[in-house]
Structures are given as C-alpha cells and as structure tokens.
C-alpha cells in the first residue's frame, strides 16, 4: 500500500500489457444494480447502499469488519464474483499478450504460485506513510495500521521473482519497470508461447530479491501446475549463487497417465521441454531444470 504498484501497472499497460486490475474488478462486481450488491444488502442490510444506489463502502466496512464471521460472509460473497470476472478477462486475453494482474493482497492470499512471475513493488515504510497521508488523505495512524496489517517485507521477498524499489524519485521506478519489461517479461512471454527454454540472463539472475527462496518458489509453482497429478515435488540440487545458478526439481507423477498430461501443462506454465522427460524454465531470470518421473521411474 502506497508503494507504487499502480504506477508500474500503468508502465506495463502503456507497453500493451493486458491489464487485469483486481481493485477495479472488486468495484465492478458490487456496482449499483449488480447481483453482488444485492447479495451484500441481503447479508448486511440496506443501510450499506447510499442514496445514489451505489455501495457505501464506509457503512459496509463498519459491519463487515466487525468480527471474523462478518468478514468471512463478505469474502464468501465477493471472492467468487471477483474470481469469475477475472476468469472471463483471462479467457479474453490475446494469445500473445503479457497478462499483468494488479493484485493488492497477493502474498496475504497465498496465490503467488499460480502466476508465471511475481513482481513486487516496494518502498520504505516512512515513504509509504508519507504518500498515503499527503496523496490519499489518510490519517497517519490509519496509514500505519493498514501497512502493519499487510505482509511484511520479508514475506514479500520470499515470493518475489522481481523486486522494484520505489523509495526514490518516481522516474527511477518507471525506468526500472521499463527495463524489467524489455529484458525479462517480453522474452519470457515469447519463450512460453514458443515452447523454448530460456537462456539465463546473468544480470537478471543476480538481481533475484531472495536467492534462498528460489527453490521454494519453483517447487510451489510446479505444485500449482501439476496439482493432483503429482505425488511429490522436490528440489534435487541447487547450485546456489554461482556463475550459472540452476535449481533442479523432480516432479513425481502419480501414474503414467498423469505423466503424459504434464508436458503440455509444464510448457504452458513456463517450463517447456528440454529433452525427453526433462524441462527447463522459460524465465531468463529464474533458471530451473525439471524432471518428471513416475513412482521413481523416469
């Protein structure tokens, strides 16, 4: 919050990214006259609807965040609607698009493994507080409380494939975002679409925000891709921070039928074939080698 995520999303959109804004969707699904707003009114009372027919967000917050049960009720109404609309937008994306999902609570909702790459925009806490107070009109105490309720920097680094610091001048963030787009995201998309393993870019690899979590990130990503087709996903070797650091991971398919389905899923998920039974990362900033076995048999 207050780090500059929307600025980066705009930079990407200006370069023809297919942008899906989670906050915008969250507003759309409860706009005046929608089934979502009607469901909220049924759950929390007509008092949450203003004279203009739109959702009174302050009135909703007073009721929905009163306790855990009310918060769960709110989520049970809005989350399926947001998910369904997001799926519609994803289905409509062009085949060669770089889809950018602007999500405020990615870490808190534990959804990082379901994306090809996670870009985190960060800024020092004091900088963020200043922005929220001066630009958004928040009370300083409220701003600090909201920031404290979100994921910590350590938690964000653990899931980040790329890290953009925005503690300085805005133009510096724009420059970093453009460089990330040109040098990593565009080649990554081409590799995924073409089914080509990446040639690792040493500069990008060295810039990893948390080298110690690469194995976990790749493993979690592979679990998200394989799902119930796998019985195990484990790191078999990690060369660490060398000239050509590569994390090797083995996916154990539950049976031959599952193993036969995995190549197409791995290719679409960012790990195209690199030979019989072997696959490699399409991301030039995150080298990884993947092997698939069935019950211990390649």
- Residue 5 assigned as binding residue: yes
pLDDT, tens only, 77-124: 999 999 999 999 999 999 999 999 999 889 988 999 999 999 999 999
Question: Which of left, alpha, beta for 297 (phi over 0: left; psi -120 to 50: alpha)?
Answer: beta
- Check residue 244 and give its pLDDT: 59
* Residue 242 reports pLDDT greater than 70: no
Q: Is the pLDDT of residue 5 over 60?
A: yes
Domains of the chain, start order: 5-191 (3.40.50.300), 206-293 (3.30.460.10)
Give residue for tokens 């080509």. 196
* pLDDT > 70: percent of the chain: 97
2 is in an annotated binding site: yes
Q: In the prediction, which pLDDT does 109 show?
A: 87
pLDDT score of 149 more than 90: no
Give backbone dihedrals phi and psi of 138, rounded to 5 degrees, phi first.
-75, 150
pLDDT at 243 over 70: no
**Least confident piece of the model among 143-157, 223-237, 259-273:** 143-157
pLDDT, tens only, 33-44: 999 999 999 999
Rounded to whole angstroms, what are the CA distances from 174 to 12, 98, 116, 157, 197?
Answer: 10, 18, 22, 20, 28
Q: pTM for this one?
A: 0.87
Determine contact, residues 249/169, Cβ cutoff 8 Å: no
Which stretch of 55-59, 223-227, 257-261 has the lowest confidence by average pLDDT?
Answer: 55-59
Q: Is 7 annotated as a binding residue?
A: yes
Residue 6 is labelled as binding a ligand: yes
Q: How far is CA 159 from CA 88, 122, 124, in A?
A: 26, 13, 18
Mean pLDDT for the chain?
92
Residues 6+ apart with CB under 8 A from 127: 2, 166, 167
CA-based torsion, 259, 264, 269, 272: positive or negative: positive
3 state SS of 276: coil
- The average pLDDT across 250-279 equals 96
Tokens of 183: 């040098």
Q: In angstroms, what is the C-alpha Rg of the chain?
A: 21
Task: Output the pLDDT for position 241.
Answer: 46
Of 4-18, 78-92, 231-245, 253-267, the least confident: 231-245
pLDDT at 258 over 70: yes
> Nearest to residue 193, comparing CAs of 112, 93, 293, 84?
93
pLDDT, tens digit, 9 for 90 and up, residues 50-72: 999 999 988 998 888 788 899 89
Q: What is the pLDDT of residue 288?
A: 97
Q: What is the pLDDT of residue 239?
A: 63
């Amino acid at each position: 919050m207050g780090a500059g995520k929307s600025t980066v999303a705009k930079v990407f959109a200006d370069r023809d990214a297919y942008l899906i804004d989670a906050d915008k969707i969250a507003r759309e699904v409860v706009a005046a006259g929608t089934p979502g707003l009607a469901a909220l009114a049924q759950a929390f009372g007509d008092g949450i609807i203003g004279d203009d027919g739109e959702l009174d967000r302050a009135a909703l917050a007073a009721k929905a965040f009163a306790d855990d049960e009310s918060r769960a009720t709110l989520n049970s109404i809005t989350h399926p609607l947001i998910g369904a609309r997001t799926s519609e937008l994803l289905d409509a994306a062009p085949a060669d698009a770089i889809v950018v999902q602007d999500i405020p609570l990615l870490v808190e909702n534990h959804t990082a493994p379901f994306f090809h790459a996670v870009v985190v925009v960060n800024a020092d806490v004091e900088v963020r507080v200043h922005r929220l107070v001066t630009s958004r009109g928040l009370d300083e105490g409220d701003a600090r409380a909201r920031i404290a309720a979100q994921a910590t920097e350590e938690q964000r680094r653990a899931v980040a494939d790329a890290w953009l610091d925005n503690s300085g001048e805005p133009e510096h963030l724009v420059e970093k975002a453009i460089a990330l787009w040109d040098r990593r995201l565009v080649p990554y998309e081409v590799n995924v679409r073409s089914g080509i393993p990446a040639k690792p870019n040493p500069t990008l690899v060295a810039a990893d925000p948390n080298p110690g979590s690469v194995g976990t990130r790749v493993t979690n990503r592979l679990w998200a891709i394989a799902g119930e087709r796998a019985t195990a996903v484990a790191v078999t070797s990690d060369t660490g921070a060398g000239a050509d650091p590569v994390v090797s991971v083995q996916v154990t398919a539950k049976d031959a039928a599952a193993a036969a389905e995995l190549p197409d899923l791995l290719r679409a998920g960012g790990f195209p074939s690199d030979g019989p039974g072997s696959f490699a990362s399409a991301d030039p900033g995150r080298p990884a080698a993947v092997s698939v076995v069935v019950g211990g048999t390649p």
